Structures are given as structure tokens and as C-alpha cells.
């Protein structure tokens, strides 16, 4: 169903009768798990800083009997920052639309329109959409710290933050540029292959984390993509800093996952057994279940019943502890992430007298009710080594 931009009226927001069903999923698993739009930390700066420190490398480090004290040692702390991005939207409803909840569109059908206050309903829907925007940004956000107010601030998402424990499954990530509909970068792609953008630079015609299809390949250094298999090439425009991960067709194995678990553990992750979580979208949930079910004979030998078939993986026992599984539709389909939830927190710029995310009425202009929703929100992700990601896994689309 199409939305509208601008003022809602009796002509572009028709009323119907009967029960109202929401067709777009509203869940924001990552955001909800770390505090939601009402949790987190209030700050008085748009850029939040935190610190990390380490210990020196271990060795036997023996000393001589009777020796003087050695030279002093100290560990240097380093800083990590992320920026709050502005989420600002508005809802506007004509007085006529507000006053006519019983003016229905379908001729000859009687009943009651369940939406009695159109403006309030649209505010609620927009609030849910903003929460999904924030959840998407906390996974996929590309950090942008502008020098002035001519460019929007963008928070760094967790997938961009994870650099130490980042593994590409299958073919290597492609670094590229684009002009019109052509992407230029060394590759081994074929027509019909699936790809996911992990960075897009200035290109806005593609979405980070969404699966695209190779539409044509002219050389080993250029290709085009489409939104659907066999569809038209997307006009991406001129951009630099593009990164594309080819999606593998090979099914993951236990070693695929165990290698990532070990990498995370060796670098200091998986330290909190309560909050250690595997985050996946639908494709990787299927891959996880299929891999572990196949490896362990698809059966629970002490199950109480044989009247229900199937496997629904909820936790995984690994060599490095028990990992919970969290489904999130806004995590890229090709990605599996290991997340230390205790290190994540949203931070909000608190606006004096209003709070950190709020809806407020706007001045009346004409015969319409107007409201704005506003918040400045960023992600604190702690030590990036406490998290991990696996990209390029096979997807089902």
C-alpha cells in the first residue's frame, strides 16, 4: 500500500470498516534488547566517547635474584567514539479528516472504522517506523561525522564497528566505485549471483544489507546489479567507497561456525555467558538449524514426545559457552553476528524540558493538526573485539 507525503486528508487517507491488521512487522529485537527508545543513556553532547585498555602480551618474564626493580610499565588507554544521528519526522492531519472517522469509502458496507483519532494513529505508526529506522541503523549504519550542518550525522552501526572478528565466507569482499548503473571493482561474479552492499558511499539507490542480483557482467572489473533476478539494472549514480560481499552458494558447516566462535573467544569475546548472543535473519536461522540438526541426527534422545516434528534451534552449546539465538529482520540476510549485549547501549541527546525522544505539537498552519517526532540517537558498542560477524553466507530469497 502506498503512503503519502504531506497532509493527510479525507481523499488520501480513506476510512474502511472492520478489524485493522498491521502487515509490516514492527519488531526491533536489537534495540529492544539494549533498552529501546526509552532506555539507554542521556548525554549532553552529540558525540559520545568511551575508553578501552589492554594488558601486555604474556610471557614467562622471569627476573634475576636480587636484581633492582625493572623499568616501570603502564598501559596506554585509547578512545572510541560514535555520533548521535537525528531522527526527525512529522505528521499532519486536516481538521476535516480528524472530524470524520465515520466517513467510510466502501459503498454499501456497514460497520465501524476502528481508527477514531486519525492523527494519534498516524503518530503511533510513525513512532514505530522511527524505532525500526534506529534498529536498522544500529546494525547497518555507516558512520558520518560532518564538518558542518550541510551534511547529516550518521551513527556507526555494529557491523561497521566490528573489524577484528570479521570473516567473509566464500569470495572476498569487493571494493568498488560506481558511475550511472555500472559498478567498477575486480570480481569473479556471474549473471544471477547474489550480492550484498556493506558500504555504499554516496549512492542512495541501494540499501545496506539488502540482497541484490548481478544483472550483467561486461568485464572482470565491472558489473551491474538489479533488485530482482533478471530485473533492470539499478542506476546507482556516481560514488566511491562502495563495498560488496558476494553471497556464497555453499552451505555452511559446523567448522564454519566454530571458526568464528573461536576467533571471537581468542580475541576476548564470549566473556559473558548470559548475554552472549548469535543474531541472525531468517536465512541464517535456517542455515544454523539445518547445520546443527544434520550434525546431531535431528533428534533429542531424551525428548518427552514424538508427536511433534521439526527442529527450532534456540541456543547452541559451543566449546566456548552457550550462545542464545536472536532473530532480527533488519540484520542482513547474508550475516551472522555474535553480540555481547552487555556492552551495547543506545545514547540520546537530552533536549532541555523535552526529554530525549519526544512528540510535540507544531504551530497551526491552515486548517490542520501538526506534530513532530524528534530524537538524536547513537550506539555505544563497547569493545568491538567482544563481537564478531560472518558475512557472505548463503541466503534464501
Region of residue 260 (left: phi > 0; alpha: psi -120 to 50; beta: else):
alpha
**Shared-domain flag, residues 227 and 335:** no
Q: In this predicted structure, what is the pLDDT of residue 297?
A: 61
pLDDT average, residue stretch 129-154: 96
Dihedrals φ, ψ of 82, to 5°? -145, 160
Range of the domain at 264: 254-298+311-344+382-391
Average the pLDDT over 114-128 and give the result.
96
Q: Is the pTM of this model over 0.75?
A: yes
Q: Are residues 280 and 337 in the same domain?
A: yes
Q: Determine the pLDDT at residue 299.
A: 52
pLDDT band for position 300 (cuts 50, 70, 90): low
All residues at 6 or more sequence positions from 135 whose CB lies less than 8 Å from its CB, including other chains: 28, 29, 30, 31, 328, 330
What does the mean pLDDT of the chain come to? 93
DSSP-based three-state secondary structure for 128: helix
Please determine, for residue 317, whether its predicted confidence score (pLDDT) is greater than 60. Answer: yes
Q: Is the pLDDT of residue 307 over 90?
A: no
Q: pLDDT band at residue 1, thresholds of 50, 70 and 90? A: low
Closest CA to 391 of 177, 170, 236: 170
Question: What CATH code is carried by the domain that includes residue 286?
Answer: 3.30.2320
Q: Mean of the pLDDT values across residues 241-255? A: 96
pLDDT higher for 301 or 154?
Answer: 154
Alpha-carbon separation of residue 214 from 148, 183, 246, 353, 362 (angstroms): 37, 10, 10, 51, 46
Which pLDDT tens digit goes with each residue over 97-112? 999 999 988 888 888 9
Q: Could you tell me if residue 56 is inside a domain? A: no
Q: Is residue 137 predicted with pLDDT exceeding 70?
A: yes
The CA-to-CA distance between both ends of the chain, in Å, stands at 22
Domain-embedded: residue 325: yes
Which residues make Cβ contacts (< 8 Å) with residue 69, sequence separation at least 6?
Answer: none
Q: Assess whether pLDDT exceeds 90 at residue 233.
A: yes
Is 60 exceeded by the pLDDT of residue 305?
no
Domain assignment present for residue 227? The answer is yes
Q: Is residue 177 part of a domain?
A: yes
Residues 224 and 274 in one domain: no
Instruction: Report the run of H or E that residue 388 belongs to, with start and end.
Output: strand 388-391
Q: How many CA atoms lie within 13 A of 396 on its CB side?
A: 8
Average pLDDT over residues 277-305: 81
Residue whose grid cell is 553476528: 337
* Domains contained in the chain, number: 2
Per-residue pLDDT tens digits for 348-393? 999 999 988 999 999 998 999 999 999 999 999 999 999 999 999 9
Q: Quick one: 292 and 386 in the same domain? A: yes
> Which residues, at least 6 apart from 161, have a Cβ–Cβ distance to it below 8 Å?
82, 381, 384, 387
Q: Is residue 102 included in any domain, yes or no?
A: no
- DSSP element (H, E) containing 315: strand 315-318
Confidence of residue 214 (pLDDT cuts 50, 70, 90): very high
The last residue of a domain, from among 246, 271, 290: 246
DSSP states along 336-363: EEEEEGGG-EEEEEPBTTTBSEEEEEPP
237, part of any domain: yes
Quote the percentage of the chain above a pLDDT of 70.
Answer: 96
Mean pLDDT in residue range 287-293: 92
Cell of 207: 540499501
Check residue 82 and give its pLDDT.
Answer: 97
Q: What is the DSSP letter of 104?
A: B
Say yes or no to pLDDT of 133 above 70.
Answer: yes
Average pLDDT of the residues in 151-155: 97
Q: Is the pLDDT of residue 4 over 80?
A: yes
In a domain, 303, yes or no: no
* Predicted local confidence at residue 314, as pLDDT: 87
pLDDT of the residue at 354: 92
287 and 387 part of one domain? yes
What is the rounded CA–CA span in Å between residue 99 and residue 90?
Answer: 20
> Where residue 18 falls among pLDDT bands split at 50, 70, 90?
very high
Amino acid at each position: 500500500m502506498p503512503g503519502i507525503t504531506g497532509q493527510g486528508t479525507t481523499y488520501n487517507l480513506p476510512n474502511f470498516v472492520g478489524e485493522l491488521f498491521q502487515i509490516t512487522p514492527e519488531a526491533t529485537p536489537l534495540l529492544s534488547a539494549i533498552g529501546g527508545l526509552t532506555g539507554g543513556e542521556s548525554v549532553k553532547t552529540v558525540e559520545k566517547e568511551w575508553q578501552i585498555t589492554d594488558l601486555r602480551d604474556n610471557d614467562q618474564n622471569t627476573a634475576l635474584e636480587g636484581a633492582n626493580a625493572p623499568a616501570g610499565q603502564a598501559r596506554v588507554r585509547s578512545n572510541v567514539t560514535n555520533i548521535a544521528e537525528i531522527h526527525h519526522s512529522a505528521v499532519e492531519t486536516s481538521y476535516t479528516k480528524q472530524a470524520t472517522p465515520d466517513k467510510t469509502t466502501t459503498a454499501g458496507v456497514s460497520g465501524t472504522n476502528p481508527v477514531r483519532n486519525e492523527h494519534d494513529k498516524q503518530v503511533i505508526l510513525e513512532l514505530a517506523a522511527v524505532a525500526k529506522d534506529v534498529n536498522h541503523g544500529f546494525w547497518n549504519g555507516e558512520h558520518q561525522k560532518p564538518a558542518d550542518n550541510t551534511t547529516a550525522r550518521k551513527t556507526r552501526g555494529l557491523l561497521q564497528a566490528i573489524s577484528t572478528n570479521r570473516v567473509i565466507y566464500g569470495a572476498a569482499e569487493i571494493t568498488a566505485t560506481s558511475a550511472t548503473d555500472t559498478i567498477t571493482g575486480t570480481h569473479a561474479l556471474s549473471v544471477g549471483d547474489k550480492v550484498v552492499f556493506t558500504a555504499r558511499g554516496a549512492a542512495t539507490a541501494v540499501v545496506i544489507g539488502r540482497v541484490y542480483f548481478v544483472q550483467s557482467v561486461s568485464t572482470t572489473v565491472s558489473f551491474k546489479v538489479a533488485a530482482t533476478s533478471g530485473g533492470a539494472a539499478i542506476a546507482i549514480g556516481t560514488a566511491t567507497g562502495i563495498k560488496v560481499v558476494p553471497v556464497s552458494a555453499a552451505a555452511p558447516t559446523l567448522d564454519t561456525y566454530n571458526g568464528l566462535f573461536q576467533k571471537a573467544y581468542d580475541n576476548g569475546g564470549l566473556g559473558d555467558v548470559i548475554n552472549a548472543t548469535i543474531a541472525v535473519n531468517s536465512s541464517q536461522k535456517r542455515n544454523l538449524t539445518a547445520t546443527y540438526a544434520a550434525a546431531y541426527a535431528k533428534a533429542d534422545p531424551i525428548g518427552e514426545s514424538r508427536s511433534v516434528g521439526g527442529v527450532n534451534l534456540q541456543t547452541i552449546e559451543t566449546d566456548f559457552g552457550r550462545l542464545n539465538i536472536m532473530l532480527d529482520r533488519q540484520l542482513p540476510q547474508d550475516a551472522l553476528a555474535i553480540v555481547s549485549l552487555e556492552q551495547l547501549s543506545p545514547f540520546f541527546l537530552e533536549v532541555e524540558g523535552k526529554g530525549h525522544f519526544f512528540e510535540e505539537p507544531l504551530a497551526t498552519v491552515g486548517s490542520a493538526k501538526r506534530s513532530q517526532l524528534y530524537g538524536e540517537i547513537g550506539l555505544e558498542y563497547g569493545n568491538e573485539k567482544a563481537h564478531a560477524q560472518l558475512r557472505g553466507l548463503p541466503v534464501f530469497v
